[in-house]
Structure 1
């Protein structure tokens, strides 16, 4: 049988032929197996390399390198195995045919690497590829055997011939599956499995070859000379081919390993770059958080200070001007208290938008410092520019705002400082703008003020007074309590004394409360100051009681801020107990605005004070915004009419009618009435005629210290007449009465200290 140029056993002549006994060199056979294993390992490694390469060009490159490694390994294994074949006749190889066998091996390698480079392939696809690869390997083997030139004729056993092709296909199929499996994975165990798979694949390739050699029968005609080759260089040639092949495979593996490490470094570098990019984004986000207000998206105080410093340097170099504006929303706290903080946040967003729209978008810096406080920085040529911008902002703020179902109008107070007139550093300019804002608030709000030098002087003085007041409270020897008599019109006796604090300042002399009470309230000292007055008044009450004034009461003022403290009741109880004074001899005066601040809490606190036995008086009545509906619920004993209603009597008929109405209303509510600021006899007689209970003022006495008090009390009590009135002359002699009073106390009714 003859097929495709191959002779099979059925064609072997029965006579005239000698069958040769052939053998193989064991060393070269082992060397061929090692080369096959090396080629198999390179194939597995290249398949793994292709799966991890990202660039298409690099995948194509490694596909060719893998094909060359596989083809070189298979072909070198075949060639070395052929060199291991030992026959008793001369034998050599045809070079062109040998090169053709190498090209066929290359085709097998390309088929294998193209299959392995696909991302997805079915089992049937593997079978087709394995068939093509197996046929290519078998074709390479048998073409390589055809390249063998000798006197002998080659015959093949059909069964073994076909079996070798089947083994080549099966080995190719197994190799594809193993290579597919080993494309992913890492670690020592994975590497050991890959080595084991390479040994099995190498065995499959060698089995294909030697099945083909097993099917070979060589026959020579009878009479042909049989002798060994004169020069046998098979071993040297086999070693050379093995060395070159292994060197190529090793170089390819080294290149793959280097490329893998390089790619790993590229991945690391990309990860580092990604991390750096994330860090940059995080830095930008942090910078946004650090320099911008999350609610209004305006820059915050930190960002403003940074821009302020840059613009200040720029204006210093250019000789320009800067204006710093502090804005505060008037009565913003009432929005949070009444509508809630969410509504307050919505309002701040609208206000920020209004402020932004009233400024120059690119030239001006608008910042939110926190709460309802905003700051604007503008470059300008004159103060008028700052004034006009502030007026635009104030006008914009007056536009109605719909909020929480309500329509409201907000106003703002603005303070402005100018560089270089008001300072040359950021700190100075901000501080001076804040002082100007404070002046705007003090002027009734909804106003703008520029900084002036007297504001700085005033602020410095207030800071100094604050520090000195703290020292005075600790030392206790600079503060004093003065008393002004309160005259009972019914009994004709001094019934009460109003305690008024004075500060004997070492440099400024005797200071009245209007110089330091507001400082105490602003800086958290008012509770300590009120408690000092309470303790001192109780001690003075005890002293007066021991000196024949057991019926006198002392009234002391209570700050609105102190009235909100729950500790006040305990402090009053402690002061009375320490001095050993009956609670009925103490009266607490509070202003009507303080009473109306938180009516429910106030009523509860006043009831606790009243339960101690202490009397309660409402001071400066008529100057605040008290409600008569609330007034009748308050546990009060006395109502004090403010001096502003008395000073124009008898010239003002309206004031006389108001005072009469207040007296009637107070008596209707079962309250006693004290009128302060009485300075003339006409005022005194008017109040006596219309049922006022007590009077207080310079007509009777100025406030005096405890040491000066007793003579004043004696003089007032001795100058009453039998009917209990202090003055008994007819109207024509009232001027003389006033002269007598002034002579008694040597103090004109003008220039009185404020309370």
Structure 2
């Protein structure tokens, strides 16, 4: 086989003739361009598909298919371009160089596809790749041209030869840049860029071929007989080659489209699996949040109820007993108030670990919020609940080092037992809570078991709460009784202490001790105090109209209301609406209520005093009596608690205490009232010691207003009735 060399026009023989009447078939030329464009489109589509393929083996397979499509497009374009060439002599092609040109085209196409698939290649690397690919395409073309066999010799125009190589390099660089540019655009823009890039690449490849053909010059020896090359079956052959090439390209595109759809489905499935995994993870997180306490990592109320229900079902089958324990830390609020909530949280974590450490692995423990915990334990003996409760209490009493201080906490515990105290979760929890309430009411730091009496008491208090709310709403059933307060100097009626009573339809007449605590615990003590205040002011106006112009009425104020900034305004409103003079009203506050917040109480009392009302401290001596705060309070009257009066006749100690209180009050310029006076001996002692006023059953028990008026008419001197001098 003869491998001719590439010769340029400067090497023309002296006796040769240059053939100038060569041409190209326009239809085959157009068909060549379409084939080049189709191959480019297939290559770009497969490059786009490679971005989605993750497996290395599939990437290599699709890279090979893309290379074959591009090589087939380039080589078929070259073959069609050669078939379109018309020269006045017979031309045929040798198989070996033709096959070599196909292999060169395949190598160049594979390299081009590899370069286009790179994401992070710089411009320098792309330019080098473009030079190599362009030279490969040029080598394919000129090796294919070398396969031509005819009576003429082939020579090339140097400038056009170089231009064809530059076009091949430029086409390679453009293909890489267009492939890279498409990755950074939206889907619709990528779609149009792909088709535009295929048209540009097809035009560049075709332009390279026909530029190289334009550089070709055929020279024949003198005397050579020339004859016009017939079209023959060139068109049919070209159409066949183009058809086969386009079919291969179309099948490749179809395969790429089908594989892309499969990849999309696989990615969708992966995304769905990923979303399902995320959903499971989110569900587990929500389960953790929904059923566990984030601070102590114990079960919360919701999670505990679910687990407890399953535990109870198991014990119902086996017939085994269990205990439900409510634990409430005593005075935990003081930790938050003094050391801060962060220290309180740390203390809760430490105590939760101690509770967990005192239990068995199978026992349940939960934090219900705040400082309240619940424990459920299976029982092996009847003595086990008390033993375990004592062990828990002892564990919690161990000192805790917190912020440089040693903290000792106690706990109140309430216990209900299954099946004795209930057969379901709700009953057992409610009964354990009632037992806990009993423990806290018994002084705290104790253990109480549930008994039916607690349930009856709770049920009764709930009913009383509902009835009391209704009584306040309807203004029915409540009444004011008054107990006289007698002035020991004048012997006349000085004041009336207003005491609320409740005519309950089932339980009869109830005293304040029976329902005041219910109103305080359930948040409507302010409504009850307002009712008493309004009714007392209205009765004061009635008394004034009946001749008791100088009489005062003393009204008790709840400890909770004493912390309410709106109290002075409510008193002013009650006085205004009843047209009652403010100096006729005296507000009684207990010593313990004042001590809860002395600084705040002073401000409120000064505002009330500014209205013109008098102020009295009730039950003096039962709290932490202190001159330090007593002298700061804007008071008018001090009332000695009845507990000191009861044994005056027999107790020297009580007599000394009462005498000291009277002397101290007078030193502070306060009036003194002694409560609970029931005998003449008590009255004699108080009068001798200079007590200002007295009240008690010696004169009258609390009575409705009409009975008080009937018993103590205006200008009546009650001391005369008991035979006392005044």
TM-score, normalised on structure 2? 0.87
CA distance in 1, matches of 2:708, 2:598: 37
1:318-337 equivalences in 2 (<5 Å) = 318-337=318-337
Matched residue, 1:64: 64
Query: Do 1:23 and 1:85's aligned partners in 2 also have CA atoms closer than 8 Å?
Result: yes
Query: Secondary structure of the equivalent of 2:703?
Result: coil
**Are 1:112 and 2:112 an aligned pair?**
yes
CA distance in 2, matches of 1:676, 1:26: 130
Matched residue, 1:620: 619
1:13-412 equivalences in 2 (<5 Å) = 14=15, 24-51=24-51, 53-85=53-85, 92-119=92-119, 129-130=129-130, 132-134=132-134, 136-145=136-145, 147=147, 152-157=150-155, 159-160=156-157, 166-184=162-180, 185=182, 186=185, 187=189, 188-207=191-210, 210-211=213-214, 214-217=216-219, 232-360=232-360, 363-369=363-369, 371-382=370-381, 384-412=383-411
Residues 31 and 476 (structure 1 numbering): CA distance in 2 closer, same or farther, change over 3 Å? closer
CA distance in 1, matches of 2:574, 2:110: 107
Matched residue, 2:634: 635
Residues 449 and 78 (structure 1 numbering): CA distance in 2 closer, same or farther, change over 3 Å? same
Query: Do 1:675 and 1:695's aligned partners in 2 also have CA atoms closer than 8 Å?
Result: yes
Matched residue, 1:495: 494
CA distance in 1, matches of 2:7, 2:336: 107
99-108 vs 177-186, greater mean Cα deviation: 99-108
1:442-521 equivalences in 2 (<5 Å) = 442-521=441-520
CA distance in 1, matches of 2:574, 2:297: 53
Matched residue, 1:704: 703
Query: Do 1:6 and 1:155's aligned partners in 2 also have CA atoms closer than 8 Å?
Result: no
Matched residue, 1:648: 647
Query: How many pairs does the alignment contain?
Result: 714
CA distance in 2, matches of 1:8, 1:477: 126
TM-fit CA distance, 1:179: 1.5
CA-to-aligned-CA distance 1:392-416 (integer Å, 9 cap, x gap): 3322222223344433322222222
CA distance in 2, matches of 1:123, 1:685: 117
Matched residue, 1:568: 567
709-718 vs 662-671, greater mean Cα deviation: 709-718
Query: Do 2:165 and 2:208's aligned partners in 1 also have CA atoms closer than 8 Å?
Result: no
Residues 622 and 129 (structure 1 numbering): CA distance in 2 closer, same or farther, change over 3 Å? closer
CA distance in 1, matches of 2:609, 2:86: 131
CA-to-aligned-CA distance 1:118-145 (integer Å, 9 cap, x gap): 4555666556655554554455445545
Residues 315 and 258 (structure 1 numbering): CA distance in 2 closer, same or farther, change over 3 Å? same
Matched residue, 2:606: 607
TM-fit CA distance, 1:247: 0.8
For structure 2, the residue ranges without an aligned partner over 5 or more in a row are none
TM-fit CA distance, 1:273: 4.6
Query: Do 1:494 and 1:717's aligned partners in 2 also have CA atoms closer than 8 Å?
Result: no
CA distance in 2, matches of 1:550, 1:92: 143
Matched residue, 1:739: none
235-244 vs 48-57, greater mean Cα deviation: 48-57
Query: Secondary structure of the equivalent of 2:54?
Result: coil
Query: Do 2:590 and 2:619's aligned partners in 1 also have CA atoms closer than 8 Å?
Result: yes
Query: Do 1:8 and 1:155's aligned partners in 2 also have CA atoms closer than 8 Å?
Result: no
Query: Do 1:51 and 1:183's aligned partners in 2 also have CA atoms closer than 8 Å?
Result: no
TM-fit CA distance, 1:442: 0.8
Query: Secondary structure of the equivalent of 1:516?
Result: helix
CA distance in 2, matches of 1:511, 1:133: 108
CA distance in 2, matches of 1:552, 1:446: 48
TM-fit CA distance, 1:489: 3.5
CA distance in 1, matches of 2:144, 2:477: 123
TM-fit CA distance, 1:165: 5.5
Residues 100 and 655 (structure 1 numbering): CA distance in 2 closer, same or farther, change over 3 Å? same
Residues 39 and 523 (structure 1 numbering): CA distance in 2 closer, same or farther, change over 3 Å? closer
Query: Do 1:12 and 1:155's aligned partners in 2 also have CA atoms closer than 8 Å?
Result: no
Query: Do 2:492 and 2:717's aligned partners in 1 also have CA atoms closer than 8 Å?
Result: no
Query: Do 2:40 and 2:198's aligned partners in 1 also have CA atoms closer than 8 Å?
Result: no
CA distance in 2, matches of 1:128, 1:615: 104
1:526-537 equivalences in 2 (<5 Å) = 526-537=525-536
1:407-418 equivalences in 2 (<5 Å) = 407-418=406-417
Residues 7 and 338 (structure 1 numbering): CA distance in 2 closer, same or farther, change over 3 Å? closer
233-242 vs 187-196, greater mean Cα deviation: 187-196
Matched residue, 1:719: 721
Query: Secondary structure of the equivalent of 1:376?
Result: strand
Query: Do 2:69 and 2:249's aligned partners in 1 also have CA atoms closer than 8 Å?
Result: yes
Query: Do 2:327 and 2:372's aligned partners in 1 also have CA atoms closer than 8 Å?
Result: yes
TM-fit CA distance, 1:640: 1.9
CA distance in 1, matches of 2:661, 2:438: 35
Residues 146 and 447 (structure 1 numbering): CA distance in 2 closer, same or farther, change over 3 Å? same
CA distance in 2, matches of 1:611, 1:26: 115
Query: Secondary structure of the equivalent of 2:255?
Result: helix
Residues 305 and 11 (structure 1 numbering): CA distance in 2 closer, same or farther, change over 3 Å? same
Query: Do 1:413 and 1:440's aligned partners in 2 also have CA atoms closer than 8 Å?
Result: yes
